[in-house]
Amino acid sequence: MANRVKAQTAPAKMISAPAASMDDACQTALKRLRGLGDGEFAWVRLADPSQSDLAQLTQELGLHPLSVEDALHGQQRPKAERFGDMLAVALKTLRYAEEETAVETGDIMIFAGARSGLTVRHGPIDPCLEAARRLDADPDMLRLGPWAVLHAVLDVAVDAYSDAARKVRATLNGLEDEVFSTSRVDHTQSI
């Protein structure tokens, strides 16, 4: 379960919080948050956290109880809300699963504050991996701190929307070609 929490301090690379349990991983993330140096920020990544997982970080990050509730339950409508110096953004994630010709969905809540970023995702889609890769490759962007995390995660998620739309369009065009071809094949199952 330790791989469900990641912590990053700028300009360092993404670091897995080595731990035997989720509680240990949260404690490791808290230690890193408390030990930030000047000009550093932390990015904590959670996947499908429990209430106790998130409760450990809530006070340290100064999260508003309503935004924590949204993050715990997921399935929020896309929105952005400011709570003090913390911005909370809820977003739907998606990807096109070609083998099933279906769009898979999930959601992510992104918190950006003065010296910390927190992402809480539900579902199998993790835009944070690509966002972290992009930030690691762009030190100038990383200097923007938690706002760079917000931008990178949103950018990856929106790119996935465009990619899924293109793949759905290609699948539908292929299906249309098959349905209106001169061959006499039953395409009911594909439709």
Domain of 142: which CATH number? Answer: 3.30.460.20
Alpha helices in the chain (DSSP H): 22-34, 51-61, 65-73, 127-136, 139-142, 146-179
Give the per-residue pLDDT at 156: 96
Q: Is 184 domain-assigned?
A: no
Q: Which of 138, 132, 145, 143 is nearest to 15 (CA)?
A: 132
Q: Is 186 domain-assigned?
A: no
Predicted confidence (pLDDT) per residue in 159-183, tens digit: 998 988 888 888 888 878 777 777 7
Q: Is 113 domain-assigned?
A: yes
| Residue 72: pLDDT over 60 | yes
Contact predicate 145/115, CB 8 Å:
yes
What is the rounded average pLDDT of the residues 66-86?
A: 90
What pLDDT band is residue 20 in, cutting at 50, 70 and 90?
very low
For residues 161 and 166, what is the distance between their CA atoms, to the nearest angstrom?
9
What pLDDT band is residue 3 in, cutting at 50, 70 and 90?
very low
Q: Is 191 domain-assigned?
A: no
Q: Is 146 domain-assigned?
A: yes
| Residue 110: pLDDT over 90 | yes
What pLDDT band is residue 6 in, cutting at 50, 70 and 90?
low
Q: What are phi and psi of 33, to 5 degrees?
A: -60, -40
Higher pLDDT, 43 or 35: 43
Give the per-residue pLDDT at 188: 65
For the whole model, what pTM was predicted?
A: 0.78
Structural domain count of the chain: 1
What pLDDT band is residue 23 in, cutting at 50, 70 and 90?
low
Give the per-residue pLDDT at 46: 87
Give the per-residue pLDDT at 173: 85
Q: Is 173 domain-assigned?
A: yes
The range of the structural domain enclosing residue 11 comes to 2-179
What pLDDT band is residue 11 in, cutting at 50, 70 and 90?
very low
Average pLDDT score over the chain: 81
For residues 169 and 180, what is the distance between their CA atoms, to the nearest angstrom?
16
Q: Is 93 domain-assigned?
A: yes
For residues 106 and 77, what is the distance between their CA atoms, to the nearest angstrom?
12
